[in-house]
C-alpha cells in the first residue's frame, strides 16, 4: 500500500516533458521529485523513527526480568551473646507472572505506533511533493512572464522605430519619439526584474533539496496547458484516500490497544520468589518459596481505563471534524480550479485573439497616420495585461489542482508537453 501511494504521489507530474529529460540544463518535475525524495531530511529522518519504533516493539515484547538476590540474617549484634552459628544466608531467584494479557497489550500499542509512522511518512511526502510542484510552477510562471516581458519589449521597440520615421517625416512631434523610448526603458526594467525573479524562483526550487546554486537553466513545461476539471462528486469519493483521514484507522487501533493495556493493568501480577537458605547452626540447606499479590490494582487502574475509553470515543468525532475540514478545502479548491479554468479559456479563445488582431490593425493605422501613438501604446498595454491575466488564471488552476491532488492523493493529469507555448511578438 505504501509503495502504491508513493507511486501515486510521484505521478503528480503534469508539466513533465519526457523528451527533455535527457537535455542538459533542463529540469523536469519528475527529476525535481526524485531529488527531494532522495535528499530532503524530513523524509530521511523517518528511517531513524522507524528504527526507534521497532526498538519499542522489541522492548514491549520482553517478559518480566529475573532478579537474583542474597540475604543474610542473625549475624552477631553489638552486645549480643549470639554467635555466628545462628546466622542464616538465603540465595533467591525472583520474577513475576504477568496476567491479563499485559505483554500482548504492550506489543499492540508499540506495533500501532510503528504502523502509524508509515502514513505519517506518506503524508509528509505528499506535502513535500506538493510544495515541489508549487515551486516548479512558480518557476514556469516566471519563465513565461519573461517571455511576455520580452514580447512587450520587442513591441515597444517597434513603436520607437515607427515613431522615429514619423518624426523624420514631420508627421509627429519629437515628444512622441521620446515617450516611445521611455516606454522601451520601462519594458526593459520589467524584463530585467522578471529575469531576477526567475533566478530567485530557480533557487527557491533547488533549496528544497539543499542545493544553493541551481545546476539547471530552466524548467521543462508549459503552464498554459489546460487542466481537466474533475467533478466534485468524483473528488468527494476519493477524499478517503487522504493520508490524514487514513491515519484515523491506525489511530483507532492505537487507542483500542491503549484501552486494552489499561484494562490489563487491573489484573494483578503474581510475584514469586524461590531459593535456598543455609542454616549455620545445623549446616543444612532448606528450600524457600514465596508468593505475593498486590491488592487494589483494579481500583487503581480504573481511572486509566476511563481515560483511554474517553480518548477512543472522541476519535470518531475527531475523524468527522477532520473530514468536514478537508471537504471544505476540497470544495474551495474545486471552485478555484473551475473559475480559473474558465477564465483561462475565455482569454485564450476570445480576449487575446481580439486584442492581438487589434494590435496589428493599430500598427498599420499608426504607420498610415490614422491613429495616435497613445492609442497604439494603449492597445499594446492591454494585450500585455491580457497575456499576464491568462497566465495568472492558468497558474491559479494548476495551484488548485495541486491542492486537490494533495487532498486526495490521486493524479488527474499526466500530460507530456512536446513544446512550450510561444508568446506572439
**CA distances from residue 328 to 232, 319, 412 in whole angstroms, order as listed:** 11, 14, 20
Structural domain of 70: 2-75+84-408
In this prediction, residue 190 carries a pLDDT of 92
DSSP string, 252-302: HHHHHHHHHHHHHTTSPPEEEEEEEEEETTTTEEEEEEEEE--SSHHHHHH
Is residue 97 one of the residues assigned to a domain? Answer: yes
Task: Please say whether the dihedral angle defined by the alpha carbons of residues 56, 60, 63 and 66, taken in this order, is positive or negative.
Answer: positive
> Length of the chain, please?
425
In this prediction, residue 12 carries a pLDDT of 44
In this prediction, residue 92 carries a pLDDT of 82
Is residue 38 one of the residues assigned to a domain? Answer: yes
Please give the backbone phi and psi of residue 290, each rounded to the nearest 5 degrees, phi first.
-135, 145
Residue closest to 121 by CA, chosen among 235, 34, 247, 265: 247
Is residue 283 one of the residues assigned to a domain? Answer: yes
- Count of structural domains, the chain: 1
Is residue 414 one of the residues assigned to a domain? Answer: no
In this prediction, residue 17 carries a pLDDT of 37
Q: Measured between alpha carbons, how far is 398 from 148 in angstroms, rounded to an integer?
A: 19
Is residue 160 one of the residues assigned to a domain? Answer: yes
In this prediction, residue 412 carries a pLDDT of 42
Is residue 422 one of the residues assigned to a domain? Answer: no
- Which residue ranges of the chain lie beneath pLDDT 70? 1-24, 74-86, 280-281, 410-425
CB 405 within 8 A of CB 12: yes
Please give the backbone phi and psi of residue 81, each rounded to the nearest 5 degrees, phi first.
-90, 0
CATH number of the domain to which 203 belongs: 1.20.1600.10
In this prediction, residue 261 carries a pLDDT of 79
Provide the grid cell at 245.
483521514
Is residue 339 one of the residues assigned to a domain? Answer: yes
CB 224 within 8 A of CB 340: no
CB 344 within 8 A of CB 390: yes
Is residue 393 one of the residues assigned to a domain? Answer: yes
Amino acid at each position: 500500500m505504501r509503495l502504491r501511494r508513493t507511486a501515486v504521489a510521484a505521478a503528480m507530474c503534469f508539466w513533465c516533458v519526457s523528451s527533455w529529460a535527457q537535455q542538459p540544463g533542463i529540469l523536469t518535475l519528475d527529476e525535481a521529485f526524485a531529488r527531494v525524495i532522495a535528499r530532503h531530511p524530513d523524509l530521511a529522518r523517518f528511517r531513524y523513527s522507524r528504527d526507534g519504533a521497532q526498538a519499542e516493539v522489541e522492548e514491549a515484547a520482553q517478559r518480566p526480568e529475573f532478579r537474583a538476590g542474597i540475604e543474610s540474617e542473625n549475624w552477631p549484634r553489638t552486645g549480643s551473646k549470639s554467635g555466628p552459628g545462628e546466622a542464616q544466608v538465603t540465595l533467591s531467584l525472583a520474577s513475576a507472572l504477568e496476567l491479563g494479557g499485559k505483554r500482548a497489550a504492550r506489543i499492540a500499542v508499540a506495533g500501532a505506533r510503528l504502523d502509524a509512522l508509515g502514513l505519517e511518512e506518506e503524508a509528509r511526502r505528499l506535502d513535500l511533493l506538493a510544495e515541489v510542484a508549487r515551486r516548479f510552477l512558480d518557476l514556469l510562471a516566471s519563465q513565461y512572464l519573461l517571455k511576455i516581458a520580452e514580447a512587450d519589449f520587442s513591441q515597444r521597440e517597434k513603436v520607437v522605430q515607427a515613431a522615429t520615421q514619423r518624426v523624420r517625416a514631420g508627421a509627429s512631434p519629437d515628444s512622441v519619439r521620446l515617450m516611445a523610448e521611455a516606454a522601451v526603458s520601462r519594458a526593459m526594467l520589467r524584463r530585467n526584474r522578471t529575469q531576477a525573479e526567475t533566478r530567485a524562483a530557480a533557487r527557491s526550487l533547488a533549496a528544497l533539496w539543499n542545493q544553493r546554486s541551481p545546476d539547471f537553466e530552466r524548467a521543462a513545461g508549459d503552464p498554459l496547458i489546460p487542466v481537466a476539471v474533475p467533478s466534485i462528486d468524483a473528488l468527494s469519493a476519493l477524499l478517503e484516500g487522504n493520508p490524514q483521514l487514513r491515519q484515523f484507522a491506525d489511530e483507532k487501533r492505537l487507542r483500542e490497544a491503549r484501552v486494552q493495556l489499561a484494562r490489563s493493568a487491573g489484573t494483578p501480577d503474581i510475584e514469586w520468589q524461590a531459593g535456598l537458605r543455609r542454616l549455620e547452626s545445623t549446616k543444612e540447606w532448606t528450600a524457600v518459596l514465596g508468593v505475593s499479590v498486590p491488592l487494589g490494582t483494579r481500583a487503581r487502574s480504573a481511572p486509566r481505563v476511563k481515560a483511554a475509553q474517553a480518548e477512543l470515543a472522541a476519535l470518531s468525532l475527531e475523524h468527522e471534524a477532520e473530514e468536514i475540514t478537508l471537504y471544505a478545502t476540497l470544495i474551495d479548491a474545486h471552485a478555484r480550479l473551475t473559475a480559473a479554468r474558465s477564465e483561462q479559456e475565455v482569454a485564450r479563445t476570445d480576449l487575446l485573439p481580439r486584442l492581438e488582431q487589434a494590435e496589428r490593425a493599430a500598427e498599420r493605422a499608426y504607420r498610415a497616420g490614422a491613429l495616435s501613438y497613445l492609442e497604439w501604446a494603449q492597445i499594446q498595454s492591454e494585450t500585455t495585461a491580457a497575456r499576464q491575466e491568462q497566465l495568472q488564471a492558468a497558474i491559479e488552476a494548476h495551484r488548485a489542482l495541486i491542492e486537490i491532488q494533495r487532498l486526495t492523493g490521486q493524479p488527474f493529469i499526466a500530460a507530456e508537453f512536446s513544446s512550450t507555448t510561444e508568446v506572439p511578438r
